[in-house]
Structure 1
Amino acid sequence: MDKQTSILLLGAGTFGLSTAYHLAKAGYTNITILEKSSTFPPELSAGNDLNKILRAEYEDPFYAELALEAMAAWKSPLFAPYYHETGYLLCNSAAAPEKSKKSLQKALDSISQHPAFKNKITPVISRDDIHKVAPAFSGPMQWKGYFNSFAGYASAADSLMAVYSACIALGVKIHLNSTAQALTYSGDICTGAITAAGKHYSASMIVLALGASLGSILPQIKRQVVAKASPLAHIQLTPEEAARLRGIPVTYARDLGFFFEPDRRTNLLKICPSMAGYTNYDTSSGLSLPPDDNEFIPAVDEAMIRRLLRETLPGLADKPLIRRRVCWCADTADSEYVIDFVPGKKGLVVVTGDSAHAFKMLPIVGKWVKNVLETGRQENARWRWKEGSDAAAADISWRVGQTMDFKEVKDIRRDPKITKAKL
Structure 2
Amino acid sequence: MGVSKTDSIVIVGGGAFGLSTALDLVKKGYTNVSVYEKDDHIPPRWSAANDLNKIVRAEYEDDFYTDLTIKAIDAWKTPLFAPYFHQVGFLHCVSGAAPQQATDTLNRFRASAERNSKIQPHVVPVNTEDDVRQACWQLDGPVTGWNGYLNRFDGYAHSGAALAGVYRAAQAAGVRFFLGEQNGAVDELVYVSTATAKKCAGIRTKNGRFHPASLVIVAAGAAAGRLVPQLGQNVVAKSWSVAHVHLTDEETSALRGIPVTYARDLGFFFEPDPKTNLLKMCPMGGGYINTDPKTGISYSPETLKESAFLPEADEKQLRQLLKQTLPSLADRPFVEKSLCWFADTNDSDFIIDYIPGMSDSVIVMSGDSGHGFKMFPIVGSFITDMLAAPGSQQPVARWRWKQPASQGKGDWGGDVSWRLGSSKELSEILPAKASKL
The TM-score range, normalised by the shorter chain, is over 0.9
Distance 2:73 2:39 in 1: 29
Tell me the alpha carbon deviations over residues 38-88 of structure 1, each in whole angstroms, 9 at most, x when there is no partner. Answer: 222111111100000111010101100000000000000000011111111
Contact 1:88/1:250 (8 A) holds in 2: yes
Distance 1:374 1:381 in 2: 16
Distance 2:332 2:96 in 1: 25
Tell me the alpha carbon deviations over residues 305-357 of structure 1, each in whole angstroms, 9 at most, x when there is no partner. Answer: 10110010010000010000011111111110010001121201001110111
Tell me the alpha carbon deviations over residues 209-260 of structure 1, each in whole angstroms, 9 at most, x when there is no partner. Answer: 0111111111111111121011010011001111111111000001100000
Distance 2:91 2:213 in 1: 46
Distance 1:10 1:397 in 2: 31
Pairwise CA distance, 1:161: 0.6
Q: Relative to structure 2, which stretch is displaced further, 36-45 or 279-288?
A: 279-288
1:386 aligned onto 2:389: no
The corresponding residue for 1:416 is: none
The corresponding residue for 2:107 is: 105
The corresponding residue for 1:289 is: 299
Q: Relative to structure 2, which stretch is displaced further, 104-113 or 323-332?
A: 104-113
Letter matched to residue 300 of structure 1: A
Which secondary structure state, in structure 2, belongs to the residue aligned with residue 362 of structure 1?
helix
Tell me the alpha carbon deviations over residues 111-159 of structure 1, each in whole angstroms, 9 at most, x when there is no partner. Answer: 2022212431111111110111211111111211000111111011110
Distance 2:31 2:79 in 1: 23
Distance 1:54 1:221 in 2: 28
Pairwise CA distance, 1:420: 6.9
Letter matched to residue 313 of structure 1: L
Pairwise CA distance, 1:379: 2.0
How many pairs align?
A: 417
The corresponding residue for 2:426 is: 406
The corresponding residue for 1:9 is: 11
Q: In structure 2, which of residues 265, 286, 290 is the aligned counterpart of residue 255 of structure 1?
A: 265
Which secondary structure state, in structure 1, belongs to the residue aligned with residue 61 of structure 2?
coil
Q: In structure 2, which of residues 335, 355, 363 is the aligned counterpart of residue 342 of structure 1?
A: 355
Contact 2:132/2:147 (8 A) holds in 1: no
Distance 1:114 1:260 in 2: 25
Q: Relative to structure 2, which stretch is displaced further, 43-52 or 386-395?
A: 386-395
Letter matched to residue 387 of structure 1: Q
Letter matched to residue 153 of structure 1: Y
Q: In structure 1, which of residues 218, 227, 241 is the aligned counterpart of residue 237 of structure 2?
A: 227
Distance 1:382 1:107 in 2: 21
Distance 2:79 2:282 in 1: 30
Which secondary structure state, in structure 2, belongs to the residue aligned with residue 47 of structure 1?
coil
Give identity over the alignment, percent: 46
1:87 aligned onto 2:89: yes
Pairwise CA distance, 1:422: 5.6
TM-score by length of 1: 0.96
Q: In structure 2, which of residues 159, 183, 188 is the aligned counterpart of residue 182 of structure 1?
A: 188
Q: Relative to structure 2, which stretch is displaced further, 117-126 or 76-85?
A: 117-126
Distance 1:334 1:357 in 2: 12
Q: Relative to structure 2, which stretch is displaced further, 286-295 or 201-210?
A: 286-295
Which secondary structure state, in structure 1, belongs to the residue aligned with residue 310 of structure 2?
strand
The corresponding residue for 1:321 is: 334
Distance 1:115 1:60 in 2: 15
Give the unaligned 5+ runs of structure 2: none
Q: In structure 2, which of residues 369, 377, 384 is the aligned counterpart of residue 355 of structure 1?
A: 369
Correspondence list, 1:3-402, <5 A: 3-141=5-143, 142-177=145-180, 178-187=184-193, 188-291=198-301, 292=303, 293=305, 294-346=307-359, 347-375=361-389, 376-389=392-405, 392-393=411-412, 394-402=414-422
Contact 2:86/2:156 (8 A) holds in 1: yes
Give RMSD over aligned pairs.
1.4
Letter matched to residue 428 of structure 2: E
Pairwise CA distance, 1:421: 5.5
Pairwise CA distance, 1:2: 2.1
Letter matched to residue 166 of structure 1: A
Give the unaligned 5+ runs of structure 1: 414-418
Distance 2:435 2:426 in 1: 12
CA distance 1:43–1:104, shift in 2 (3 Å):
same
Distance 2:411 2:332 in 1: 35
Which secondary structure state, in structure 2, belongs to the residue aligned with residue 363 of structure 1?
helix
Pairwise CA distance, 1:374: 3.2
Distance 2:51 2:14 in 1: 14
TM-score by length of 2: 0.93
Contact 1:212/1:228 (8 A) holds in 2: yes
Contact 1:223/1:392 (8 A) holds in 2: no
Distance 1:339 1:149 in 2: 31
Distance 1:129 1:272 in 2: 23
Contact 2:90/2:151 (8 A) holds in 1: yes
Pairwise CA distance, 1:282: 2.1
Contact 2:347/2:415 (8 A) holds in 1: no
Distance 2:366 2:96 in 1: 36
Pairwise CA distance, 1:387: 1.2
CA distance 1:74–1:305, shift in 2 (3 Å):
same
